[in-house]
Amino acid sequence: MMSIVLRRFKAVHRCGCVVSCRRQSSHAPTAAFALDAAPLVLDFSKTERAFRHYSTLELVRSAAVLTACAQPQLVRRAEYLINLSKTIVGTSATRHLVRKTIFAQFVAGEDASGIAPTLDRLRAAGVGGILDFAAEGDVASAVEHNQPAREYNYAGEAICDANRDVFLSAVQAVHDTTPEGFAAVKVTALGDPALLERVSGTLVALRGFFARLDSAERGWLTRDEFATGWAAAFHGTSREGALRLFDSFDSSGDGGLDVLEFSNALPLDAIAPLVATCREHGPLYHAALDEGELGALRRMMGRLEAIASRARELDVRLMIDAEHAAFQPAIDHAVLALQRAHNTRYPAVFGTFQAYLVENASKMALDLERARREGWHMGAKLVRGAYMAHERERAAALGTADPIHPSAEATHAAYDAALEALLVHCPSPERTSVMVATHNQPSIEHAARLATRAGGVPRERVFFGQLLGMADHTTFTLAAHGLKAYKYVPYGPVDEVLPYLIRRAHENADALSGVPWQRAMILREVRRRLVGF
């Protein structure tokens, strides 16, 4: 039997409790790693390599669109200008103009068949696709909140079923058009966001209950601590009964119970009958889901299960997007259920970690440890984060601590530290796959160096993702060096994708203010083609 070393690492979880993940593999990577004989050096300056798959006319269009996206006044008035154009020249002419400019820049096509030329071009350059049906909620909402992440408005269970079918078609399209590709899934498209917020509240309350039992703040409970706290919390439970319950919860049999074992032993549908015997009607009591909510949750999970099952049948990978913090615990819970069921042979389901969150490092450590203990493949997408303004406003309204790192520099440092945790220090590198989803060049270079180190996650399990229409010099340079590069490929009808396009314009304005040379590189390549230098 593989030897197991007992090494404790402590991490603060979102409920504020200290978690101890006590058992780790004896062959886990150490802190020292050797570089390959020829460390990878990336040169992002070669415009002829970065843009050789585009015509000169397409490059001129890209430069014009990106220039427009860098004008804050123009972006803020985008919806007004589109409506004005419809009034002056008509809806058809406006739609045609949008289709030939901003739509052509950031969206691959209107349906799964229409995206084939874009995917063929990417595949010819060694670049994979992450397909995403990009229809969203109303334009005004996207602009008002300057929200660089897609949002769905709940309109009933039938619409959720229709969204499930859209995601199923995306999975099929990935299988048909982009080998080793991904399909992006948004959980709020498949269930009521209000339900996700309720489920998240239940999960947070459960962790808070664990923290209450853990009065010594060690991150785990002894048999005696659990029995004393449990018997005190619930009517009709003797100390002897609580001891027997502890033994059933302690899956490792080591006499200690941490938050992973605790949460695994209490599924959501077991909480309601449990809290009915609470001595005090505290947060956990009020957070318990009723039968109607549990039924809605089962329907949402059924939709996710259908998509994940189809993906596994077709050897496609799902990428579950992160969303608002109010929903995220429920989304993480759903992702975990899918990963346990479908990541046994390969990482069919990827969850998302947001480096701008203060709690991200501890959350990531817990999930990596859970995957190691349970023996399934970890699929992890690492992003910086898309909801900064919203999360800070929410925290201020609730009177809670700011969940976001205090500065861009701190977020950059957290992102690079997360890369090292995922690619170098993870407990099961041979069963871990990572999508490095960023446009930040220093982070990409850092990840590429880590991917060439011996002893960490194998290079073929490290993926790099950028948005269609942005950072082409990065994506195609990565592919040219033999790394697994991907483009996030949105598609959908022009009118339904308008909120996505306006949101993308907001995002580009921020990105271009930090990397003006992206636009300069395009113009340099146009000049090289036209005048030879």
Q: What is the pLDDT of residues 435-485, one digit of tens each?
A: 999 999 999 999 999 988 777 899 999 999 999 988 898 999 999 999 999
> Do 311 and 231 sit in the same domain of this protein?
no
pLDDT at 152 over 60: no
Higher pLDDT, 38 or 408: 408
Predicted local confidence at residue 511, as pLDDT: 54
CATH code at 246? 1.10.238.10
Q: Which of 287, 306, 327 is the last residue of a domain?
A: 287
Residue 160 falls inside a structural domain: yes
Predicted local confidence at residue 180, as pLDDT: 87
Distance CA 376, CA 369 (A): 11
User: Which residues of 134-211 form beta strands (DSSP E)?
Assistant: 182-185
Residue 51 falls inside a structural domain: no
Distance CA 373, CA 383 (A): 25
pLDDT at 504 over 60: yes
* Interval 295-324 mean pLDDT: 94
> Do 219 and 171 sit in the same domain of this protein?
no
> For residue 161, with 0-12 CB atoms within 10 Å meaning exposed, 13-18 middle and 19 or more buried, which class applies?
middle
> Do 297 and 327 sit in the same domain of this protein?
yes
Banded pLDDT at 513 (limits 50, 70, 90): low
10 sits in which H/E element: strand 10-12
Residue 132 falls inside a structural domain: yes
- Going from the C-alpha of 115 to that of each of 1, 94, 321, 417, 468, the distances in angstroms are 50, 22, 21, 36, 12
C-alpha dihedral sign at 365, 370, 372, 377: negative
> Do 138 and 65 sit in the same domain of this protein?
yes
pLDDT at 211 over 50: yes
What is the residue-averaged pLDDT of the chain? Answer: 83
Distance CA 365, CA 383 (A): 16
> Do 195 and 237 sit in the same domain of this protein?
no
Kind of pairing, strands 349-354 and 378-383?
Answer: parallel
Predicted local confidence at residue 92, as pLDDT: 93
Give helix then strand counts, H and E, for the chain: 24, 14
> Do 458 and 362 sit in the same domain of this protein?
yes
Predicted local confidence at residue 146, as pLDDT: 31
Residue 49 falls inside a structural domain: no
* Interval 245-257 mean pLDDT: 88
Tens digits of per-residue pLDDT, 26-37? 333 333 334 444
Q: Which of 272, 287, 302 is the last residue of a domain?
A: 287
Q: Which of 55, 178, 58 is nearest to 115 (CA)?
A: 178
> Do 310 and 180 sit in the same domain of this protein?
yes
* Percent of the chain with pLDDT strictly greater than 90: 49
**Strand-pair partners of 383:** 354
Tens digits of per-residue pLDDT, 163-185? 999 999 999 999 998 888 999 99
Distance CA 227, CA 239 (A): 6
> Do 249 and 334 sit in the same domain of this protein?
no
494 sits in which H/E element: helix 494-514
CB 226 within 8 A of CB 332: no
Predicted local confidence at residue 22, as pLDDT: 41
Predicted local confidence at residue 39, as pLDDT: 58
**Strand-pair partners of 353:** 382
Which of 150-154, 280-284, 482-486 bottoms out in mean pLDDT, i.e. has the lowest?
150-154
Two tokens at 476?
């195609």
> For residue 136, with 0-12 CB atoms within 10 Å meaning exposed, 13-18 middle and 19 or more buried, which class applies?
buried
pTM value is: 0.84
CA angle 156, 161, 163 (to 5 degrees): 95
* Phi-psi map region of 126: left, alpha, beta (phi>0 left; psi -120 to 50 alpha): left
Residue 75 falls inside a structural domain: yes
* Interval 103-128 mean pLDDT: 90
Distance CA 392, CA 331 (A): 20
Domain total in the chain: 2
Tens digits of per-residue pLDDT, 327-370? 899 999 999 999 999 999 999 999 999 999 999 999 999 899 99
Structural domain of 239: 4-25+200-287
Tens digits of per-residue pLDDT, 419-439? 999 999 999 999 999 999 999
Q: Which residues contact 479 (CB under 8 A, 6 or more apart)?
A: 125, 126, 127, 485
> Do 271 and 420 sit in the same domain of this protein?
no
Residue 312 falls inside a structural domain: yes
Residue 314 falls inside a structural domain: yes
CATH code at 181? 3.20.20.220
> Do 430 and 463 sit in the same domain of this protein?
yes
**Strand-pair partners of 182:** 130, 317
Banded pLDDT at 150 (limits 50, 70, 90): very low
pLDDT at 17 over 70: no
CB 255 within 8 A of CB 249: no
> Do 349 and 239 sit in the same domain of this protein?
no
* Interval 524-530 mean pLDDT: 91
pLDDT at 64 over 80: yes
Predicted local confidence at residue 73, as pLDDT: 83
The three-state DSSP-derived secondary structure of 244-305 is HHHHHHCCCCCCEEEHHHHHHHCCHHHHHHHHCCECCCCHHHHHCCCHHHHHHHHHHHHHHH
Distance CA 239, CA 340 (A): 33
Distance CA 225, CA 239 (A): 11
pLDDT at 139 over 70: no
Which of 41-55, 338-352, 365-379 bottoms out in mean pLDDT, i.e. has the lowest?
41-55
Distance CA 135, CA 427 (A): 38
* Percent of the chain with pLDDT strictly greater than 70: 86
Tens digits of per-residue pLDDT, 400-411? 899 999 999 999
Higher pLDDT, 35 or 486: 486
Kind of pairing, strands 127-133 and 10-12?
Answer: unpaired
Predicted local confidence at residue 533, as pLDDT: 66
Two tokens at 257?
């119970």
The DSSP output letter for 115 is T
* Interval 490-500 mean pLDDT: 85
C-alpha dihedral sign at 374, 196, 187, 294: positive
Position of tokens 């399209």?
173
> Do 231 and 277 sit in the same domain of this protein?
yes
